[in-house]
Amino acid sequence: MRTEALSWIDAEVEYSTDGTTWVSCSEDTLSVAVEGGERATADTHTGDDTTPVVTFGPKGSLGVTVRGLYTCNAATDAVTVAQTAYDADTDLYFRWFPDGKVIGKPQYTTGASKVLGPVVPVGEFSSADAIAADIKVRTAKITQSTYATS
């Protein structure tokens, strides 16, 4: 029986505007979500069988949503950098380390991504929750690798 599991307590999230120089945004990041990437499929039926012939096509693009605190504190906050990338139509990259930025642990890195829409604060006026903003990007791939340098 399993007695241990990972939590996001040690996670690290970083962004980059060039895919080389990375800036931590963990202290302002609330969540990371991924959607899409499904492979296209087709079912074709022949005239003499009820079992389909299944063919496979290319993989779809991936959507990554990084939810961050809306702080307006610095030009290097991920929310501010993402809005700038959206306005300028420039690339933005993300990478995250679910078990911490530790040599030998897994990391996930997006390819060059475009911010899909304005990065604006969202939330309920009647809530005491911190104000957040969603950074939504689209990318062709997410690479899983093992972190090797610190």
* Strand locations in the chain (E): 12-16, 23-24, 29-36, 39-44, 53-59, 62-69, 93-97, 106-110, 113-115, 121-122, 132-139, 142-146
Q: Is the pLDDT of residue 4 over 90?
A: no
How does pLDDT run across 30-72, given as a tens digit for each residue?
999 999 999 999 999 988 888 999 999 999 999 999 999 888 7
CA dist 139 and 137 (Å) reads: 7
Q: Which domains does the chain have, with CATH numbers?
A: 9-39+57-146 (2.30.110.20)
CA dist 97 and 114 (Å) reads: 21
Which of 67 and 2 is assigned the larger pLDDT?
Answer: 67
Contact at 8 Å (CB) between 97 and 107?
yes
Q: What are phi and psi of 85, to 5 degrees?
A: -65, -40
CA dist 95 and 85 (Å) reads: 16
How does pLDDT run across 76-115, given as a tens digit for each residue?
889 999 999 999 999 999 999 999 999 999 999 999 999 9
